[in-house]
Every structure is written in C-alpha cells, then in structure tokens.
Amino acid sequence: MNKLKKYLGIVWLCLAPAIIYFLIKGATANIDLAGKKDINNPVIWIIIIGIFTPIAIGLMIFGWYAWKNEFEKPPTNSAKNNVS
Amino acid sequence: MQNKTRQIWKVITASSVGTMIEWYDFYIFGMLAKTISLQFFPEGNPTAALLSTLAVFAAGFIVRPFGALFFGRLGDLIGRKYTFLLTLVLMGGSTFLIGLVPSYKTIGIAAPVLVLLLRLIQGLALGGEYGGAATYVAEHAPANKRGLYTSFIQTTATLGLFIALAVILLVKSNLSDLEFNAEWGGWRYPFWLSILLVLISIYIRLKMKESPLFEKLKTEGKTSTNPLKESFAKKENFKMVLLALFGAVMGQGVVWYTGQFYAQNFLETKCNIEFEQSRTILLWAIAFATPFFVFWGWLSDKIGRKWIMLAGMFLAIITYRPIFKTFIDKTNVAVWSSSIGIINKQEEIKISTDSLKITTTQLNFKNGAKATSIENVTIDSNGFQKIEYKNKHLSSQTYWEFVALVFCLIFYVTMVYGPIAAFLVELFATKIRYTSMSLPYHIGNGVFGGLVPFIGLLLTTTYPTDPLVGLWYPIAIAALCFVIGSIYLSNKIDKNVDD
C-alpha cells in the first residue's frame, strides 16, 4: 500500500500541470468578446485560472509529499499534526 | 448530566440557526439572479455586465476562500464565539442592504457597484461562518457523539436552501409577475426578512459561552500567535490541509453542488419543466433527505467517517448519468404524444417581422401532463424548422418519480456531507483548527462545487450532441477524490481533539 501511495504521487505531480494546460487551452478556444455565454467571458476565465493555479500547485505539493512517503501512516490523531 | 445535555443542545441550536440563516442569505441572491440583473445590471452596459460577472463569480470563487483565511485566523486568535457572531452580522447586514439599494434606473452605476460590494461581503462572511460553527459544536461535543452533533450544522446548508426556495415561492405565489419584478416589488421581501432572522440569531448567539477547548488554551496562554503560518507554512499541518481538500472535500463539493443546484437547473433548462414543479420537486426531495444528514453523522461515530463519505461519492459516480438520462427520457414530449395521447390542442399562429411563422400549441395529455409547443418555421424557405417544448407540466406519477430521483441525489449529499465536519475537526489541532479546516472546505465547496455549472456549459458547448456531457466534471472530480481518499485517508476516529 505504501508503494502505491508513493508511486501515485507521480500521477498527482503530473496531473496538476495538465489541468492548468487544459484550462488555458479552454480559455483560448472559447474567449470571444462578441459571445454572450459565460464561457466566452475573459473575466471569468481570468478568475478561474487565477484561483485554480494555486490549487494545482497544491496538488503538485501533495504529489511531492506522497512521493516522499509523508503519507505512509494515515492521520489518526489531530495531536500528531499539532505543530507547536 | 441533564444540564450538560441541555447545554449542548443550546450550542447546536445557536450555531445551526445562525449558519442556516447565512446560507439562506447567500442563496436568495443566486435564486433571484434574473430579477436582480434586470434591476441592477442592465443589458447593453459593459460596466454593469462586468460588475455582474464579478458579483456572481468573485463572491463564490475568490472571496469565500479569503473569508475562510481572514475569519479563520481571527477565530484562532480571539475565539470562535465572537468571530462567528461577526460573520453573522456582516452577512445579515449586507443581505438586508441589498434589499434597500435603489435600481440602476434611479441611481445609475452606483447601484451595481453597491450590490457588488455587498455581495463580496456576503462571500467573505460565508467563508468565515462554517468553520466557526462546526468547530464550536465539535469542541463542546463528547468524543462518541461528535459526528452526531456536528451533523446538525451539516443540515443547515440544505435547510437554508429549503427556506430560501419556500420564501421565494410563497412571495411569488401571492404577487403578480409585475408586482414581484417591480423596482420596489416582492423580490426584495426575502432580503428584508433576513434582518429579522439575523437579529433572532444574534440574540441566541450572544447568550452562548466561548468554546471550552479554546478557553482552556487561552487561559494556559497556548493559543496560536500566527495561525496562517502554523496552518500553511508547517509541513505537518499543510499536508493534512491538502489531504482534506483532495481526499474528501473536493469530491464532497461537486456531489453537493450537483445534487442541490445542477439538478434543479437541469430540470428547468434542459428538461423545460415549469417553474413551480421544478422547485417543488427539489423541496420534497430535500424534506425527505434532510434527516439522513443526522443519520450518517450518528453512524460515523460508530463505524468511522471515511467510508460513509467515499460510499456517497461512489454512488454518485455510478448513478449520475442514468438518473439524469431518466430526466431527459421522461420529459420527451414526442414520446408523450405517441404513447399517452393528446386530449386537446389549442393553436395560435403568429407571423413575425423576420418572416418566421410561430405556432404556439397548448398540449393536454390524457395522464394530466401538459406542455407548450413552440414551432418556428421560415416562410420563405423549407430549410429551417425548430420545435421547442416549454413549460412542461409532469403527470402526477412522473412528478413523484422525479422527486424520488432527486431524493437519491440529495441522499448522496447527506452521505458525503453529514460526517465531514467531524472529520475535518479531528484532522487539525485546536489552536489552528478554525483556519486549517475553513480553507479546504471553502475551496472544495466554493471552487470545485461552484464550477459545476461553468464546466458543464464548457463541456456542453464543446460536445453539443450529448446533453449529459456536463456531468463528466463532477463524476471525474468525485472519482479522483474517491481514489485519493481510499488510499490516503484513515477511518479511525480521533477520540481526543483537546490538543
């Protein structure tokens, strides 16, 4: 199980840039100043890409932690995460 | 013992009523979006259109997570009680004020600017409320009933939606369309009602004491001095924030949004079911499903939180497409006509200026169903013909079948959402709990959940032949979350959150 957790970390690491790539591709294909739908609106795309980029980076960090065996033991106690 | 039980129920009531009112406040804006846009964001004005976009998207996607950070930090610094009292005042005040802003016709561009500002305050307040209420209840609850007691907080989002729907339906059914949509018409009443609800809730919350765990930390001088740094800059805690987001909350967010909002929108815009039926279907389904929030919360105290939440996601993944396909199949008027038979037709023909012949036909079926057929045919060529069916009124049998199917969708919501407050509370230490649990919750619900209609529209535009293509987004996110949750999460209940 720990090996699976570790190697899936690579999948999460790769998935994040793929999400950003598809979002940017979606934006360039659908932004249309003359269009009336939400998906034609550049402001919405800027908001979505702006908010999704840090989330995707978070997914990469999650993948990196998994690769580094940080999730070997699943969390069972909030005291273990107490960082004092 | 009896005194302790009475005390915990006071805590649950004070927290739940306030949180429910905050959800009510947040929803009425979205539900009245069409009327609001006519009053404040007139078509053809690019500035108003930009402000309208920001009011809808920024409030949900950007401001909610920022509200989680801002109020979460405050809650870990000064305490839960005063922080979620502040969010309640901000939410209630801004909702009431939206109901008082004169229209664009009266004060021009100041109207959409004011509405946008108030909407952003609403998003900020909502971002701070949930974490406070869930933490407050969990820190009062005994270890063996944490899931049960926090599940009452989990019912509030759905009950807020229920009350918002019911109030709007009630006002609308007592007024004509003209009276409802007028500048100072009935659409403003739900906003004004908010101030009364909020005042009652503030009164209840003011009488409550601070969370005992936070009070203890404060007395011992062990509260966090920098909750943001401790939550997100320390690996031990930050990895748990990421795990909470990707292994539980993101899947919960899309299941929650699809069951409660996407379904209603689908029935109204894709199936073209009339306004009243599409809303009462949801009302019935919510009424039947809501007790299950408490049931799953209770069960999670016995068997653990993880597999209940993941089972809800799994059921959503495998049944979303069949359920939504049934919605489409059962509202196909062409099939009604051939299998049920029409008892009468009333036709009205108009020739419009752009050489279109428009035939509007009222169709009444033998089983009690009704529909309006609108047929557009160009007069000068045979190449164009379009038939649309609007205002479909379902037969009694189909209506209750739809209530049962929407109930299933909300049943999944109760599975993923019922135990999640206790799950999040148990993942983080007391001194940074408010901050640490609020952010993943609002990213999961606000961003992943809130994007369901947008990504749905994106997919439908890209692949127009499949009316169900929009469902692939919630299915994919729930599947990803299911895999991460299954592999990385523990099912053990943390008995001691006093740390």
pLDDT single digits (tens) B377-430: 766 655 566 778 888 899 999 999 999 999 999 999 999 999 999 999 999 998
A42 found inside a domain: yes
Cβ neighbours of residue B309 under 8 Å, at least 6 residues apart? B248, B251, B252, B415, B416, B419, B420, B423, B485
Beta bridge partners of B376: B358, B386
- Closest-CA residue of A relative to B50 is A43
Residue-range domain boundaries for chain B: 2-331+396-488, 333-393
Q: Given strand B356-365, what is the order of strands in its sheet?
A: B342-351, B356-365, B370-378, B385-393
Structurally, chain A folds into a number of domains equal to 1
Q: pLDDT at position A61, please? A: 96
Structure confidence at residue A83 as a pLDDT band (50, 70, 90): very low
Q: pLDDT at position B499, please? A: 67
Question: A65 vs B237: CB contact, 8 Å cut-off?
Answer: no
Q: pLDDT at position B148, please? A: 95
Distance from CA of B370 to the nearest CA of A (A): 30
Which one of B61, B222, B432 has the shortest CB-CB distance to A51?
A: B61
Structure confidence at residue B369 as a pLDDT band (50, 70, 90): confident
Range of the domain at A16: 2-72
Question: B235 vs A82: CB contact, 8 Å cut-off?
Answer: no
Q: Model-level pTM? A: 0.89
Question: B242 vs A58: CB contact, 8 Å cut-off?
Answer: yes
A84 found inside a domain: no
Q: Which of A6, A28, A57, A62 should be substituted to probe chain B, the one whose Cβ sees the most B Cβ atoms within 10 Å? A: A62
Q: Which of A72, A77, A80 should be substituted to probe chain B, the one whose Cβ sees the most B Cβ atoms within 10 Å? A: A77
Task: Annotate B408-433 with DSSP letters as a single string.
Answer: HHHHHHHHHHTTHHHHHHHHS-GGGH
Question: B62 vs A30: CB contact, 8 Å cut-off?
Answer: no
Q: pLDDT at position A84, please? A: 40
Task: Annotate B76-88 with DSSP letters as a single string.
Answer: HHH-HHHHHHHHH
Q: pLDDT at position B50, please? A: 73
Q: Which of B52, B54, B57 should be substituted to probe chain A, the one whose Cβ sees the most A Cβ atoms within 10 Å? A: B57
pLDDT per residue over A23-36, tens digit each?
A: 999 899 989 888 87
Question: B431 vs A76: CB contact, 8 Å cut-off?
Answer: no
- For the record, the structure tokens of B33 come out as 């979006």
Question: B487 vs A51: CB contact, 8 Å cut-off?
Answer: no
- B215 CB burial (10 A radius; 0-12, 13-18, 19+): middle
Chain A residues with CB within 8 Å of chain B CB: 1, 4-5, 8, 12, 26, 30, 37-39, 41, 43-44, 47-48, 50-52, 55, 58-59, 61-62, 65-66, 70-71, 74-84
User: At residue B155, what are phi and psi to the nearest 5 degrees?
Assistant: -75, -15
Which residues of A fall within a CB distance of 8 Å from B58? 47
Question: B237 vs A83: CB contact, 8 Å cut-off?
Answer: yes
The CATH code of domain B2-331+396-488 reads 1.20.1250.20
Question: B53 vs A65: CB contact, 8 Å cut-off?
Answer: no
A43 found inside a domain: yes
pLDDT higher for B267 or B22? B267
A78 found inside a domain: no
Whether A48 shows a pLDDT value over 50: the answer reads yes
Structure confidence at residue B147 as a pLDDT band (50, 70, 90): very high
A63 found inside a domain: yes
Q: Check residue B92 and give left, alpha or beta (phi > 0: left; psi -120 to 50: alpha).
A: alpha
For range B324-345, the mean pLDDT: 83
pLDDT higher for B377 or B191? B191
- Four-CA torsion B236, B298, B443, B140, nearest 10 degrees: -60
Chains A, B: CB contacts under 8 A, how many? 113
ipTM for this prediction:
0.89
Question: B458 vs A79: CB contact, 8 Å cut-off?
Answer: no
Question: B57 vs A43: CB contact, 8 Å cut-off?
Answer: yes
